[in-house]
Amino acid sequence: MSYRPTRTIVIVGGGTAGWLAANRIAAELPEVGAGSSEVVLVESPDVPTIGVGEGTWPSMRGTLQRIGLSEDEFVRACDASFKQGTCFRGWARGDASDAYYHPFSLPAEYTSLNPARYWLGEGGKTPFAELVTPQAGVIAAGRAPRQAGAPQYAFTVNYGYHLDAAGFAALLARHAVARFGVRHVSAHVGGVTRHADGDIAALRLDSGETVPGDLFVDCTGQRALLIEGQYGRRLASCRGALFNDRAIAAQVPYGNRGAGIASATRAMATSAGWIWDIGLASRRGLGHVYSSAHMDEEGARAALEAYVRQTSPEVDAGGLTYRTIPFEPGHRAEPWTRNCVAVGLSAGFVEPLEASALALVEQAAAMIGEQLPRDRQIMDVVARRFNARMRHHWERIVEFLKLHYAIGARAEPYWRDHRAPDSWPDALCEKLTLWRQQPPWHDDAPRIDELFPSASYQYVLYGMGFRPRYTDAGTPPYRRMRERADQVFHEVRENARRMARLLPTNRQLLCAIARRAA
């Protein structure tokens, strides 16, 4: 029994997570011959895609390439635009000058030069991101990450995407069936049949069909039909560190067809949360993420409506459709249990900040596909490694997101509560203590699979106004490298000017992609 071969992978649940997992896993399977497997996706016909956030990381480019999707087709089908990072406003102090960028590009020469040392040594007069990467200037100028004639997936500066989640799920579904032969079953799961050893043997559907399988991937969202419903793996709550548990979302049309499209997600702090503002090709996606312990739904909606009126005065803010999405911030300690593995919201969700949800789906699906256990005995080894990797990722995500809230100076109770050290993860406490004397660098994110490199900590730390107690500005190593750092920073400024002048706007690049379909 322990050598039972893995022939059929059954994914339960569609949406972005289910269909992305189907494509990514199927892309790694042998197509014919001994050891070939099949992927079956069972999807309830009337469960809508949640689509909170609508943002990806640059890793999505590699995922789309691996599954064989044309970037042009993806952009057109998903109303997509190009995302180069996040612009934070109001997170540190809440005044008009309170803004910083977290771009997707690493600082120039980051492998051998820690730019924060020299920025701090000079008193941090220039905004940190603006000094260390030309991408800050590209974002500020509203420019695209590449030329219109560049090869698909090539780039001048690093980028991910903003996208329509429903359109993305539909595209992935068509692609999985047509390219990889994924079998799509539209039905509700009515029950589960188990082997004597406790493994799931098959799904019983309300259509009367039985779907047997060897590995079951739970993509049923917050219902967690298999991982919790069958194996009782409950969420480990993160509410003690991250307070947000509600989001109110709305879609806002542009005032005109040629409206500019922001090059980054805009994240505006509010008195008890923050508002995301994502520019797609044909509309904006807005949402207010907040803590129900610090603000009621009426106040949260009023804040979002006020933001719509401020940024889109031509739109009837009261006439838009607003959708409330409750969530419990947390994740499962063992998302792979026996022959069942949870991916997407089934595995956990903390909040939309920094758009980690789809990145975790990519990570999970890639590991399942690339290390697919050929038999049941090997599955236990892969499961232990998978659980350890996902646990590390979740811990780092909670730590990194908490950093955004922990070091500002806003006076509202929500922000004061976030600054209480007893709400900080232990690892963050330790790092903030160390960073009082030295800036983050490679030792602070040493793993090759880290979701957030040490540069991301630098962008947030110094964008939020964090300053150490000590600098090494007077030491011999600092003085020896100062001239090189100055040269690097000069090149960054020149490159930023050149890119802002030569790169097209986001709208121009999207129009060029649309014309190629004609």
pLDDT above 80 (res 36):
no
pLDDT of residue 337: 98
Q: In this structure, are 295 and 339 located in the same domain?
A: no
pLDDT of residue 61: 98
> Is residue 302, in this structure, part of any structural domain at all?
yes
pLDDT above 70 (res 518):
no
> Is residue 109, in this structure, part of any structural domain at all?
no
Q: In this structure, are 271 and 226 located in the same domain?
A: no
pLDDT of residue 52: 47
pLDDT of residue 445: 94
Q: In this structure, are 217 and 321 located in the same domain?
A: no
Q: In this structure, are 180 and 299 located in the same domain?
A: no
pLDDT above 60 (res 475):
yes
pTM: 0.95
> Is residue 334, in this structure, part of any structural domain at all?
yes
Q: What does the mean pLDDT of the chain come to?
A: 94
- Containing domain of residue 253, as a range? 246-326
Q: In this structure, are 260 and 318 located in the same domain?
A: yes
Percent of the chain's residues with pLDDT above 90:
90
Cα separation, 256 vs 267, in Å, equals: 23
Residues near 254 by Cβ (< 8 Å), separated by ≥ 6? 282, 283, 284
Q: Pick the closest to residue 215 from 233, 227, 228 (CA basis).
A: 227
- Burial of 96 (C-beta count, 10 Å sphere; 0-12/13-18/19+): exposed
Query: 120-147 burial, b if ≥16 CB within 10 A, otherwise e?
Result: bbbeeeebbbbbbbbbbbbbbebbbbbe
Q: In this structure, are 289 and 351 located in the same domain?
A: no
Catalytic residues: 83
> Is residue 494, in this structure, part of any structural domain at all?
no
pLDDT digits (tens, 9 = 90+) for 133-183: 999 999 999 999 999 999 999 999 999 999 999 999 999 999 999 999 999
- Yes or no: say if 268 and 353 are a contact pair by the CB < 8 Å rule: no
User: For residue 88, what is the enclosing H or E element?
Assistant: strand 85-89
> Is residue 362, in this structure, part of any structural domain at all?
yes
Cα separation, 335 vs 394, in Å, equals: 11
**Which CATH number belongs to the domain containing residue 227 in this structure?**
3.50.50.60
Alpha helices (H) in 319-453, listed in sequence order: 356-370, 376-406, 413-418, 426-434
pLDDT of residue 511: 96
Largest CA-CA distance found in the chain, in angstroms, rounded: 76
User: Domain end: 348, 374, 395, which one?
Assistant: 395
User: How many structural domains are present in the chain?
Assistant: 2
Cα separation, 294 vs 239, in Å, equals: 13
